[in-house]
Structures are given as structure tokens and as C-alpha cells.
Structure 1
């Protein structure tokens, strides 16, 4: 075996939970192989670098060996090497800014004035998404 479908490989090495999830991600340009977008049927070869974008993090994997059946989690390092840069993994630990406005129990919904104050407070926060 010297080549295998991209979607099948991503599923076999447990990057995606199902093969259809892997195929959808590839079709939606969330997966690149050696820096170029691919189709789910693209053949993966030894040494290829696969990048997968999930939310704000871009994971990178190097193909070490080809496998067509789903592997146990302990065997995955035999088939692919996680080469994700540390700065990408650091994005997972960034605390999210949240605002919690305390309201006394039983006071009901905010008045128009309170709502405008809440909206102006929320407008001051920048979101990446």
C-alpha cells in the first residue's frame, strides 16, 4: 500500500470521529495537504504534511505510515506525527473574556436604560470570531 484516500486516512488516525466528518472538512477547505487544498479522494503519500483547521487552531501532522483501518489511540503515533507549532497550541489556553452582570433574584428583565448600558458595555469588547 503506497497511497490512501485523504478522508480515510484522517479517519483512521483519529483526527476526525467519522469518515464523513473528515470528507466534509476537506470539502470545506479546512484541510490542506502540503500547503494546497485537496479533495477527499486525494491520495496521501508518506512524508506528506496535512494541516487541519479547527476553530482558531491549525493543527499540523506528518504522515509516517499509511493505514486504511481505524487504529486504537495508542497506535496513532506510529502512523502520524503531530508537528503543530507551540504558538498554535497556545491559542487553546487563551482565556475568554466573559461578562457576568449580577441581577437580584426576582427583579425581572432589564429596563431599557439598563439594556442600553449592557449593550454599550458589550460593544467595548472585541471578539476574534
Structure 2
């Protein structure tokens, strides 16, 4: 399956984000763009804006913040291996995401018993104590 296009072609931003697997659906990509979570060369853009090779994108997705350079174009969604070849993440972005993942792993978690229904008085006290000490 050939999903990349000629170098002189242009692709809509929402299609490219979907093909590069930053978002599961084009609708989610469109919502993120319209919500200001995607910047193209430092500017807020609309979903129909065309992407060219060499453009820099800043993407705030649910699974992290990415700063990537567009390396190849595609308007069809393919395998993940192909999607990874469409962009090159900046070293600063990769380092920032690694630090965020490490901080998340070290963050304290509230372990509550496997209880169904309303929390007990003891469980509520533990929750309030956790919230006060970790905020």
C-alpha cells in the first residue's frame, strides 16, 4: 500500500494529522485544530490549510505535546510504521515528553480499595488527606 505522495503535492492539515496517526479520526484532528491545539510554523490555522514538506508543527494531543517537522506527505492512513516516516520529532520535544512521562510515573497515586457504591467514611478521610498533601 503506497500512502505517501509526490513531494510537490499538498495535503490538508487535518488529513495529514490523521494519516500521521496523531489523532484517531479526522473529526478529532479538526476539533484539535479549531481548538487551537495545532500550530503550523507558529501560527494558529484552520483544518483546510495545506501542509508542505519542511513545515514545523506544534501539536497538543491527548498523549502529549509534539514539535515535529513534516518530512513526507500522505492523505491516506496506513500502517504505524509508514506514519512514523511522515514526520521527524525535534530532540527538544522528545526530551520534554520523556521528562513528562517520568514525572507522571513518579507522581503519587491514590490507592483506593475496590469498593462499589458510596465511599466509606475511612475512604473519604484518606482521599481528603491525599488531596491536601499533594496539591
TM bucket, shorter chain = 0.7 to 0.9
Q: Which residue is equivalent to 2:111?
A: 100
How many residues were matched structurally? 119
Task: Output aligned runs, 1:1-129, within 5 Å.
Answer: 1-55=8-62, 57-83=64-90, 84-94=93-103, 95=105, 96-100=107-111, 109-110=120-121, 115=124, 118-126=127-135
Task: Tell me how far 1:76 sits from its aligned partner.
Answer: 2.1
Structure with bigger RCO (C-alpha 8 Å, 6+ apart): 2
Identify if the C-alpha distance between structure 1 residues 110 and 44 changes in structure 2 by more than 3 Å, giving closer, same or farther. Answer: same
Identify if the C-alpha distance between structure 1 residues 115 and 13 changes in structure 2 by more than 3 Å, giving closer, same or farther. Answer: closer
| 1:57 and 1:89 in contact (8 A); partners too | no
Task: Tell me how far 1:63 sits from its aligned partner.
Answer: 0.5
Bigger Rg, structure 1 or 2: 1
Greater helix proportion: 2
Matched residues in 2 for 1:99 and 1:8: separation? Answer: 39
The TM-score with structure 2 as length reference comes to 0.73
List per-residue Cα deviations over 1:50-97 (Å, max 9, x = no partner).
111135831121111211111211112332112223123220222231
Identify if the C-alpha distance between structure 1 residues 36 and 58 changes in structure 2 by more than 3 Å, giving closer, same or farther. Answer: same
Matched residues in 2 for 1:78 and 1:125: separation? Answer: 41
